[in-house]
């Protein structure tokens, strides 16, 4: 069950959902996909991987904000969906806390395996979003929902198992009382490492640019890192706000690629000399980092980008503007060679989707 229509797979959460769905289908699992639709149309391509695809309207009424449950949950509480689930006893995979209203229905859950893929420890994630949000009303909404989420998140103890994105997050779900927690790395488009050896001539930041976390990262890199290094930089991603467009426009060495196609984004990642990725949200495994490791050359990150994971061993990790500038200058001149490629191939083998879903398959009856 997906919190949104998982195609096009063009931002973190739905990338994970779609490529997991695809990997399960290729492993022989007969997938019945239920997904909430808001802002995305029905997609016929999903029928290639599913026995059936059902769509449900997400209720975006402001009245849902008066519910004791967080809005991300209450807006996806569908009686129609629950009635359909009662028609069989198949195992259920809930994508995110967003879909967890199903756990409240004893008739639906009794006697069947119900798994939750936890994309974040959502209470912590929303608190960090609220702390960094500039708009007052949005900040108040995020603070209110962060409190609701933290109170509601222990509902996950009703699941047969929780699939966390990292070992650090597994420990947090275990501390909530979840009876079985396993780690399942995010799924992505790559069945093998396709990074190219040699050198590129630009650094790249990529991500959904209408997400506050990513916008802040780009602004900070422009102000504190890229301006102090003699190199070209490309910023690529969806829906850049006008303020970011204006900030980039005054820097002749920085190019904005707005709303690239999937193919164009992969070309940019593959051609870059350095994927320069920073965040102030030390949660989960960032799909933009996995994409960069599987398809790009050098990855230069700050500690929060690899927090709670073992991916730091495959990156250059630098903390603070001065260290990032120094490492960026060094990596721009360092070819990505066969030795580095071989190490990446060996270490990323367990993170291809076919391997990642094995922890999920082992939980199915």
The pLDDT tens digits of the residues spanning 309-326 come to 889 999 999 999 999 999
Instruction: Check whether 357 has a pLDDT greater than 90.
Output: yes
* Band of residue 284 on the pLDDT scale cut at 50, 70, 90: low
78 and 45 inside one domain: yes
Domain boundary among 133, 154, 189: 189
User: In this structure, are 232 and 331 located in the same domain?
Assistant: yes
Residues 342 and 234 in one domain: yes
Please tell me the predicted confidence (pLDDT) of residue 331.
97
Q: Are residues 35 and 170 in the same domain?
A: yes
CA distance 49 to 32: 9
Q: Is residue 320 part of a domain?
A: yes
Nearest to 115, CA basis, from 19, 69, 182, 49: 182
The Cα–Cα gap between 50 and 145 comes to 33
226: domain CATH number is 3.40.50.2000
* Structural domain range at position 228: 202-349
Q: Identify the pLDDT of residue 231.
A: 92
Q: What is the mean pLDDT of residues 219-239?
A: 92
CA atoms within 13 A on the CB side of 62: 1
Which residues, 6 or more positions from 185, have their beta carbon under 8 angstroms from its beta carbon?
Answer: 165, 285, 290, 350, 351, 356
In the chain, helix, strand, coil percent, each to 5? 50, 15, 35
Asked if the model's pLDDT at residue 268 lies above 90, the reply is yes
Does residue 114 sit in the same domain as residue 255? no
Distance set, CA 196 to CA 192, 231, 268, 272, 292 (Å): 12, 20, 12, 10, 11
pLDDT in tens, 108-153: 999 999 999 999 899 998 998 888 787 888 899 899 999 999 999 9
Structure letter (DSSP) for residue 210: T
Indicate the pLDDT class of residue 280, thresholds 50, 70 and 90.
confident
- Same domain flag for 169 and 247: no
Give Cβ neighbours of residue 106 (< 8 Å, ≥ 6 apart). none
Strand, coil or helix: 153: helix
Instruction: Judge whether residue 345 has pLDDT over 90.
Output: yes
Mean pLDDT value across residues 15-42:
95
Compute the distance between CA of residue 270 and CA of residue 275 in angstroms, rounded to an integer.
Answer: 10
Q: Where among 130, 163, 189 does a domain terminate?
A: 189
Residues 31 and 162 in one domain: yes
Residue-wise DSSP of 3-39 = SS---S--SHHHHHHHHHHHHHHHTT---EEEEEESS
C-alpha distances in Å from residue 362, one per residue of 179, 184, 318: 16, 11, 37
DSSP 362: T
Same domain for 108 and 70: yes
Whether the model pTM is above 0.75: yes
Q: What is the DSSP letter of 2?
A: B
Alpha-carbon gap, residue 6 to 13, rounded angstroms: 8
Per the domain annotation, does 99 fall within a domain? yes
3-state secondary structure of 268: helix
Whether 173 and 254 share a structural domain: no
CA distance 269 to 276: 11
How many Å apart are CA 356 and CA 190, to the nearest integer? 12
Q: For residue 356, is it within any domain?
A: no
Q: Could you tell me if residue 361 is inside a domain?
A: no
Q: Name the percent of the chain lying above pLDDT 90.
A: 83
Confidence of residue 85 (pLDDT cuts 50, 70, 90): very high
Quick one: DSSP state of residue 237?
E
Q: Mean pLDDT, the chain, as a whole number? A: 94
pLDDT > 90? residue 286? no
Strand order in the sheet with 92-95: 92-95, 114-117, 161-164, 181-183
Sequence-ordered list of residues with C-beta below 8 angstroms from that of 84, at least 6 positions apart, any chain? 34, 54
Domain co-membership, 181 together with 213: no
The answer as to whether 195 is a domain residue is no
Give the burial class of 6: count Cβ atoms within 10 A of its Cβ; 0-12 exposed, 13-18 middle, 19 or more buried: buried
What does the pLDDT average to over 94-117?
Answer: 97
Does residue 304 have a pLDDT over 90?
yes
What is the domain count for the chain?
Answer: 2
Examine the pLDDT at 161 and tell me if it is beyond 80.
yes
Strand partners, 299: 275
Q: Does any domain span residue 7?
A: no
| Structural domain contains residue 176 | yes
Bond preceding residue 8 cis, omega within 30 of 0 = yes
Query: Which one of 159, 189, 219 terminates a domain?
Result: 189
Residues 6+ apart with CB under 8 A from 49: 21, 22, 25, 31, 33
The pLDDT-based confidence of 232 (bands split at 50, 70, 90) is: very high
């Amino acid at each position: 069950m997906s919190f949104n229509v998982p195609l096009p797979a063009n931002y973190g959460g739905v990338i994970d959902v779609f490529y997991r769905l695809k990997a399960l289908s290729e492993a022989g699992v007969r997938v019945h996909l239920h997904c909430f639709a808001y802002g995305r149309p029905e997609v016929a391509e999903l029928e290639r991987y599913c026995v059936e695809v059902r769509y449900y309207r997400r209720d975006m009424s402001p009245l849902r904000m008066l519910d004791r449950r967080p809005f991300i949950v209450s807006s996806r509480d569908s009686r129609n969906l629950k009635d359909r689930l009662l028609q069989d006893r198949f195992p259920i995979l809930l994508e995110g806390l967003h879909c967890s209203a199903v756990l409240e229905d004893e008739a639906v859950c009794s006697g069947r395996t119900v798994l939750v893929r936890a994309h974040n420890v959502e209470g912590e994630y929303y608190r960090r979003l609220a702390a960094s949000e500039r708009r007052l009303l949005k900040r108040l909404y995020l603070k209110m929902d962060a409190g609701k989420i933290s109170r509601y998140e222990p509902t996950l103890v009703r699941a047969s198992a929780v699939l966390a994105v990292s070992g650090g997050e597994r420990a947090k779900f275990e501390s909530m009382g979840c009876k079985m927690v396993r780690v399942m790395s995010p799924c992505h488009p790559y069945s093998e490492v396709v990074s190219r050896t040699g050198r590129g001539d630009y650094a790249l930041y990529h991500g959904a640019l209408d997400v506050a976390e990513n916008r802040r990262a780009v602004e900070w890199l422009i102000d504190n890192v890229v301006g102090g290094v003699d190199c070209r930089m490309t910023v690529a991603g969806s829906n850049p706000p006008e303020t970011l467009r204006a900030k980039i426009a005054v820097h002749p060495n920085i190019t904005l690629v707005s709303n690239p196609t999937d193919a164009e984004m992969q070309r940019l990642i593959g051609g870059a000399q350095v994927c320069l990725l920073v965040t102030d949200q030390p949660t989960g495994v960032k799909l933009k980092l996995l994409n960069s490791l599987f398809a790009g050359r050098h990855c230069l990150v700050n500690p929060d980008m690899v927090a709670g994971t073992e991916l730091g061993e495959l990156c250059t990790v630098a903390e603070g503007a001065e260290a990032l500038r120094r490492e960026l200058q060094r990596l721009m001149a360092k070819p990505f060679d066969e030795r580095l490629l071989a190490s990446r191939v060996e270490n990323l083998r367990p993170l291809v989707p076919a391997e990642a879903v094995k922890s999920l398959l082992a939980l199915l009856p």
